[in-house]
Amino acid sequence: MRKQLLLLIATSMIMPVVSEAQTAKKAPAKRTAQPAARRAVAPPNAKQQLAKALQMAQNGQYAAAANNLFTLARKPELAAERPQIKYILGTMLMQLKLYQTAAFQFVDVIRSGNPRYSKPAIEKLSIVADGLGDDTILNYAISRVDLNSIPASQKDMVYYRLGEIQRRNGQFAKAIDMFGRVGANSSYYFQALYNRGLSELEANEVPAAITVFQNMIEARGAAPVTDTNKVQAQLALARAFYQKKDWDQAIEAYSQVPRDTLAWHDAVFEQSWAMLRAARFRSAMSNFQTLHSAYYEDFYMPESLLLRSIVYLYICKYDEMEKVLNLFETTYGPIRAKIGNFIKSTNDNTYYYQELEKAKIIKTTDKSANLHLPYIVLRNIMDQGDVKRAMNYLARLNQEKARVEGSPTFRASALGQYSLKIIANRMKNTKLAVGDMMKAHLLNMRAELHDLYEQAGFIRYEMINGRKESVKKKIAGKDLGEQIDDNVNRKFYIENGFQYYPFQGEFWLDEIGNYHYLGKQSCE
């Protein structure tokens, strides 16, 4: 890249230098005697200043060159050269790792419509936007890319980003095509493969998705157990089998997700659903011992409590079922009320963001921050993909701000002040956007809790009805006949009639995931 930059600068310098030379030839050969002191202080004209700035850039004096180019880009007499100046200024800023400030220069060049500099500016903008994770700028750049003219070094990144945009817009067939174009040697390859599989699932092409995820797991076979790509592919494979309603394959695939990863908790919960659908009630109950242990007390999972109560309903454990339903109502009733009150109290996105920022501090250092919402709610929102992406973008802006402030000379310059202004504005807008995302997630959680409360009411009705039928059959002395899990092989279990680990409240980390429910059904 530096070689290309030097070549561009060298060719850019030809024009002003030649122009100056031609001007010198055309000038009258009249020499007027001037005082020596006056010739020494005469400022160079704009074109000479530009030549000097380009020379600095060529010599690797990026900060000095960028400052001079920033000043020259505002001079009216250099209006014709402005796209060239801004393009090289953006390239200098990339060398200084000031990507957000560089992005603004490339956007200006693209808007100018200059045929010579617009195309390379789009390519450079794609690179800095990809590095920043700035969706707005990335979409702007990618939407202007001509796929036939992309340099080979950038094609994989552009294909991947285009696939992401098309997937978000529900254009799954186009997204699959774009993800499929990413080369196997690219650093985007496995991300593209994973997203291709997800696009296949969203297009309901389940067998194709299963093949993609299996190939991905096989390709990452030599990677460590906790390799992110392999773990995500394993979880996606389990979800694909679940979507196919192949419960046994789904259960097996979920069990392959390593416990030393963040995905394991989701895998255990989703595996419980598959176990319920496969009528493996004891296995499901074993998972709940893990999911509802004290180790996961900071996790937001109201649905898992209702799922547990449904399993108790199937095995006619009405007393346990009532305890779980009561636990759901005492835990999530206040949460539902607090979410509702918070939403009603303000419409200010900044206030929403500040609440999330306090929760982030609690997660990392200070545990005493005063929150208006339960921590488990905020933790759940912080784990959402859009919020995580925006928070990562904010972290990169903070790093760029630190680079500017780390050099007092550069910070005091006009370009330094301009950079800080851009970064501050982007940070402000991103925080507002995060606040908006948080508001949307809170509204979804409130709606979800409302729906779950209705389901809890139906489940409680079934519990009362089950108790009534059980009493009636006991009074009549009738047998219930064959039960739904009678055909399940129970040889694995040591002894029926016992619930292993019948303790209350003490859970050890190395025991999480090893609990086994050995109780039997009471539908008789």
Runs of H (alpha helix) within 406-510: 408-412, 414-476
Query: What pLDDT was estimated at residue 518?
Result: 62
What gap in Å lies between CA 375 and CA 371, rounded to an integer?
Answer: 7
Query: What pLDDT was estimated at residue 127?
Result: 86
Binning the chain into helix, strand and coil, the percentages to the nearest 5 are 75, 0, 25
Query: What pLDDT was estimated at residue 445?
Result: 96
Query: What pLDDT was estimated at residue 205?
Result: 95
**Are the C-beta atoms of residues 183 and 153 closer than 8 Å to each other?**
no
Q: Tell me if the pTM is above 0.85.
A: no
Q: Which residue has the tokens 């796209």?
A: 83
Among 370, 369, 372, residue whose Cα is nearest residue 346: 372
**Are the C-beta atoms of residues 301 and 291 closer than 8 Å to each other?**
yes
Among 172, 234, 227, 228, residue whose Cα is nearest residue 199: 172
Query: What pLDDT was estimated at residue 291?
Result: 87
Q: Cα torsion for 419, 423, 425, 431, to the nearest 10°?
A: 180
Q: Which residue has the tokens 């700028």?
A: 137
Query: What pLDDT was estimated at residue 26?
Result: 43
Query: What pLDDT was estimated at residue 17?
Result: 36
Residues 355-383 pLDDT 10s = 999 888 876 665 666 889 999 999 999 99
Query: What pLDDT was estimated at residue 92?
Result: 94
What is the full per-residue pLDDT of the chain (524 aa) written as tens digits? 555 555 555 555 444 433 333 333 444 444 444 444 444 444 568 788 888 888 888 888 899 999 999 999 988 888 888 999 999 999 999 999 999 999 999 999 988 888 888 888 888 888 888 888 877 787 777 777 777 777 787 889 889 988 988 898 899 999 999 999 999 999 999 999 999 999 999 999 999 999 999 999 999 989 998 899 999 999 999 999 999 999 999 999 999 999 888 899 999 999 999 999 998 888 888 888 888 887 788 889 999 999 999 999 988 888 889 999 999 999 999 999 999 999 999 889 999 999 999 888 876 665 666 889 999 999 999 999 899 999 999 999 999 999 999 999 999 999 999 999 999 999 999 999 999 999 999 999 999 999 999 999 999 999 998 888 878 877 776 655 555 555 555 454 444 444 444 445 555 666 666 666 666 666 65
Residues 131-177 pLDDT 10s = 888 777 877 777 777 777 777 878 898 899 889 888 988 999 999 99
Query: What pLDDT was estimated at residue 77?
Result: 85
What gap in Å lies between CA 263 and CA 234, rounded to an integer?
Answer: 10
**Are the C-beta atoms of residues 193 and 224 closer than 8 Å to each other?**
no
What gap in Å lies between CA 454 and CA 160, rounded to an integer?
Answer: 42
